[in-house]
Amino acid sequence: MSRHSPLTRRAFLAGAGASLAAAALPVVSASVFAADAHAKEFRIGYQKAASTLVLLKAHGTLEKRLAPLGIAVKWTEFPAGPQLLEGLNVGAIDFGYVGEAPPVFAQAAGANFVYTAYEIPTPHAEGILVHPDAPIKTLADLKGKKIALNKGSDVHWFLVAALQKNGVKFNEIQPVYLPPADARAAFERGAVDAWAIWDPFLEAAKRQSNARLLADAEGIVSHHQFFLSARPFAQQNGEVLAIAMDEIGKEGEWVRGHYSEAAAQLAPIQGLDASVIESGLRHYAHIYKPVDANVLAEQQRIADTFTELRLIPTKIVTRDAALAGKA
C-alpha cells in the first residue's frame, strides 16, 4: 500500500458534510490561497508517543505540500496532552493531537479551540497495569489502592469509567498524578499499586517491567484521539487544516500497511525497541474522520461525569468547541 494513495483533500472536505475545513474556508486553488492574507507558519504540537505525527514530521511531506503556499511548518514536542493543550491555550501552537480527556479539561479552563478530526476508537491502546505478583485480580480490587496516572489525560477518563463500571468511586482510590516517565519509576519501585497508561508506554512496561495488564479500555470507553485547532487559526486557515489532515490520513494509511517499517523508523526517535513500538502501533486505528455530533456527544458524557466528580470547575457544552454549523 502506497503512502501516497489514501483519502484526498477533497474527500476530507466533503466527508459526511462535517469537515471543519469546509466550514472555515471554501476550497480554492493554491495560487489564490497563497495570495490571501493567512498564516505563513503552521505550528504543530505533538507528543513523542503520537506515532503518526512523529512520522509525518520525519517524512517532511506536509512541509512539501505547504511550501508552494508560502507556509512554513514548526513542530513543538510536549510530554503529554494536558501540556500540549496549555500550549494551544497560550497561543504557542495552532494544532495538536491529544486523547479524549484533555480537551474537556481545557474547555473547562476556557481554552479557545475547536475539534478538527478524530481517530476511530482504539480501546486496546490504553490499560491499567499492576505488579505481576499483586493480589489485585479485578478492577474492583483497586478500591483503596494507589494508582499512578497523568492528570487530565485520556487515562484519567478511562480510570474513572473503569472504576465506576466495577462499583468503585473515584474518591475510593488514591490517585497519584505523575507524567509517564515518573509514573513508571514509581510503579517499578513499588510506590504505587497500579498504573493507568497508554501505548507505547503500556507495551513497554508489559515487556520490560513484567507488568501485568489488569484491563484495557475494551467495553469501558471508546478511547478516541483528537486533532484540535486554535479557533482563530481554524476560522482563517481551513485549507491549511484540510491539507494537514490529508497528509495525516496518508501517513496513517502507510502505517497500516507497513507496521514493521514504521516501528523501525520510530525506534530511534521514541527510544524504544522496534518490536515494542510495532505492538503499540497495532493497537491504534490510524484512521481519522471529521468530528461529528456522535463523537461530541461522547465527549459530553466525559464532561458531565467530570463535572459531577468536581474534576472540572464548571459544566461545559462540548458542541461549543466545534465551528458553527458543524456537528
pLDDT digits (tens, 9 = 90+) for 28-87: 333 333 334 578 999 999 988 888 999 999 999 999 999 999 999 999 999 888 889 999
Secondary structure (DSSP) of 284-295: S---EEE--HHH
Whether 8 shows a pLDDT value over 90: the answer reads no
- Residue 231 is placed in which grid cell? 479557533
CATH of domain 9-122+224-321: 3.40.190.10
In CATH, 123-216 is 3.90.45.10: no
pLDDT-based confidence at residue 130 (cuts at 50, 70, 90): very high
User: Higher-confidence residue: 25 or 143?
Assistant: 143
Res 23: pLDDT: 32
Beta strands in the chain (DSSP E): 41-47, 72-78, 95-99, 113-119, 126-130, 146-149, 174-177, 194-198, 212-216, 225-230, 288-290
- The span from the first CA to the last CA of the chain, in angstroms, equals 32
Q: What is the mean pLDDT of residues 100-121?
A: 94
Backbone angles phi, psi at 281, to 5 degrees: -60, -35
Lowest pLDDT segment from 20-34, 150-164, 175-189, 262-276:
20-34
Tell me: the pLDDT tens digits for 190-226?
999 999 999 989 999 999 988 999 999 999 999 999 9
Structural contact between residues 128 and 212, judged by C-beta atoms closer than 8 angstroms: no
Among 118, 142, 144, 143, residue whose Cα is nearest residue 130: 142
Percent of the chain, pLDDT > 90? 78
Q: Could you tell me the residue ranges of all domains in the chain?
A: 9-122+224-321, 123-216
How far apart, in Å, are the Cα atoms of 118 and each of 58, 223, 233, 248?
Answer: 22, 10, 18, 11
pLDDT-based confidence at residue 12 (cuts at 50, 70, 90): very low
Taking the C-alpha atoms of residue 173 and residue 176, their distance in angstroms, rounded to an integer, is: 10
CB burial string 91-130: b at 16+ within 10 A, e below: eebbbbbbbbbbbbbbbbbebebbbbbbbebbbbbbbbbb
Same CATH topology for 9-122+224-321 and 123-216: the answer is yes
Where does residue 324 rank: exposed (0-12), middle (13-18), buried (19+ CB within 10 A)?
Answer: exposed
Tell me: the pLDDT tens digits for 293-314?
999 999 999 999 999 999 999 9
Res 118: pLDDT: 95
Name residue, grid cell 481551513. Answer: 238
- Residue 112 is placed in which grid cell? 479557545
- Residue 20 is placed in which grid cell? 471543519
Whether 16 shows a pLDDT value over 80: the answer reads no
Tell me: the pLDDT tens digits for 136-152?
999 999 999 999 999 98
